Structure 1
Amino acid sequence: MIWNKLVKLTTDSALAATLVCGVMAPAAHAGQTWSIATEYPMDTVAGRGVQSFAATLSRETGGAVTGKTEFKAKHEASDLVSAVLDNRLQVADVFTGSLAHLDPIFELSTLPFEVRSVDDSRRLACLAEPAYRNALSRAGLHLLFISPWPPTGLWSRQPITTAADMTSLRIRTYDTASAAVLSGFGAQAAALPVQDVRPLLRIGALDGVLSSGDGAVGKSLQADLPNFAAIHYAFPVSFVVMSQARYEAIPERLRHALDKAVAVVQQEQWAALPARVEQNYAEMRRAGVTVNTSIDNTLHERLYEVGQARLNDWLSRVPPDESDIITRFRLKGAPSAQNACPLTLLEAVHCAHKLS
């Protein structure tokens, strides 16, 4: 049903492209405001990315386009996508795992225990970007930039050090895949939007939350969940997107400025991530949260087994060119011409601008 709706909206958008092309150029000179939304608070990596994009967009376009940001948007990801496609929103930050119903490629960054560092996360995003763009384009969306998240861990009322500690826990996860993985440990896991978590914690309906606990989200968990197991479940990413029809209708000079703004913000997001991870852990400890970075060997092995089962399931559902992303990613030695990850188009635009 959702896919049919997106297909219809995509078709409608394409039919409207001629009208958009006719009015876009004059509007650019007069100045236009784009609504830019995320379901996450301002003080998160996603929120800061949206905020930075709005400011950079205005600067690079000379004020022809300004961004009106909305944080903690009370919409699910599918609603944000629909709003972008029918032009109620011009830009949205959408968590990749929440788009898995559209295409399994969107599960890639949330596959458990595959990525172990920020550098790995960036390399995987680079390798997967063409596939991401193709899948988003089929849904009528244009990928502006990939916004990375810190590694996800498990917040809990009681310390979690063994597999047995997870049995029967009521845990919020961020997508259906992670809910299935944690249910494999005997937990009662369910995927819920971030804005639903705090009310459930207040009434004692949750024992744990799978989350990076980044920024304001972490602060909202500290009082009820004073333990954080840094299991590095995944290094997920968000997509910042607009409609493909709107992007293609933008006049060339304005589109060049938009691409430049995108390249700047994407570079900033990745560069800031390592310090952000350390800052989050330091703030947790100052607030009295016990951060456990040493996981029991048995638990670690069990997590890896469950993660491999989920990876194998994913590999069975994607075409060979997408499964090959994992093969190339696992070649961690010196890259060859066949598996090297080149600069993305947007980073190449940014570098060319710096050299000009």
Structure 2
Amino acid sequence: MPTPYGDGIFHTQNIMQFADDVREATDGEINITVHSANSLFGHAEIKDVVRQGVVPLGEILLSRLANEDPIFGIDSIPFLAASYDDAAALWEASRPAVEEKLAAEGLSVLFAVPWPGQSLYLRQPVTHPSEMEGLSFRAYNVATERLAELLGAVPTQVEESDIPTAFSTGRVEAMITSPSTGANARAWDFTSHYIDTQAWLPKNIVLINSSALQGLSDEAQEALMTAAAAAEERGWRMSMAETEEKIAALADGGMEIMEPSDALAERLTEIGGTMTAEWLEEAGDAGQAVVDAYNDLR
């Protein structure tokens, strides 16, 4: 089983526990060997090698597939689902559509686990949306460029490895990323304020080749799916714990941890509506059905 992330990442730790659970539940009939940190296949290759049956199962970031179908990018629309509760509702609403599209490629979903939510990092406090106007805002894809534009900020392309230098030289003044990335990059060395927006909670998804799954005995399939359900529940708890731990690390580093002001929260909600509408233009009726189901669950 190839995975993209290192052994110290909670996603990988959860998957290793999943492998242990499956091995124990099947008395070794299913023995999953986890190859972490892109050591067997690179992230970009994992979906295809599972689909082709080169390996039976693997883990990817779901939104990496958004260029194949907009449905795969629904969990990365800013401010559509900006909390763990909303992210869980969004996954419940979108899972059938995700499963249907992957099934057409011979892939089955085992489980999905979110990363901590994306939040704002700034060199000064911001309590009103107008204070974002004109700030150089780190962008790394089309969505973050659009987010910057809607905030009135200036999108600036900066690779993750260049973030500290870009801030220290004034090339960027704001960014949005997870507390995990911020803590690992020692964001307190170049920013001072963290606004806990949890703008989106992108998920990793564990996929299995459908033929490989169907080739297992009924008992083994049941054991595998039971362990997968447990891994999903455990993984969400681990993600929440990671959020708390990394925000605490940011505070320990000297950053001021803030909730968005009412005015900023209102503007961010408006931006979420705009970006959801733009996504729906691409996703069409299938996307609208998922968003409607999500709104019914909230």
Change (3 A) 1:176 1:317: same
2:17 alignment counterpart = 52
1:83 matches 2:49: yes
Cα distance, 1:330 vs. partner? Answer: 2.0
2:273 counterpart (308, 313, 326)? 308
1:236 matches 2:192: no
1:52-71 to 2 correspondences below 5 Å: 52-64=17-29, 65-71=31-37
Change (3 A) 1:58 1:209: farther
2:226 alignment counterpart = 260
1:42 alignment counterpart = 7
Offset from partner CA, 1:86-126 (integer Å, 9 cap, x none): 44544332222221111111121122212243222212211
Q: Residues 97 and 290 of structure 2 are in contact (CA less than 8 Å); yes or no, is this contact kept in structure 1?
A: no
1:201 alignment counterpart = 163
CA distance in 2, matches of 1:36, 1:92: 5
Change (3 A) 1:155 1:80: farther
2:98 counterpart (132, 143, 155)? 132
1:324 matches 2:286: no
Q: Percent identity?
A: 19
Cα distance, 1:292 vs. partner? Answer: 1.9
Amino acid at match of 2:45: D
SS at match of 2:81: coil
- Structure 2, unpaired ranges of 5+: none
CA distance in 2, matches of 1:178, 1:244: 34
Offset from partner CA, 1:253-274 (integer Å, 9 cap, x none): 3322221221111121234444
Q: Residues 111 and 228 of structure 2 are in contact (CA less than 8 Å); yes or no, is this contact kept in structure 1?
A: yes
Cα distance, 1:37 vs. partner? Answer: 0.7
1:250 matches 2:212: no
1:188 matches 2:150: no
Count of residue pairs brought into register by the alignment: 290
Cα distance, 1:233 vs. partner? Answer: 0.8
Cα distance, 1:153 vs. partner? Answer: 0.6
Change (3 A) 1:59 1:75: same
1:96 alignment counterpart = 62
Q: Which has the higher contact order (CA 8 A, sep 6+)?
A: 2
CA distance in 1, matches of 2:228, 2:191: 36
Cα distance, 1:144 vs. partner? Answer: 1.1
1:160-179 to 2 correspondences below 5 Å: 160-163=126-129, 164-165=131-132, 167-173=134-140, 176-179=142-145
Q: CA RMSD in A?
A: 3.0
Q: Residues 247 and 255 of structure 1 are in contact (CA less than 8 Å); yes or no, is this contact kept in structure 2?
A: yes
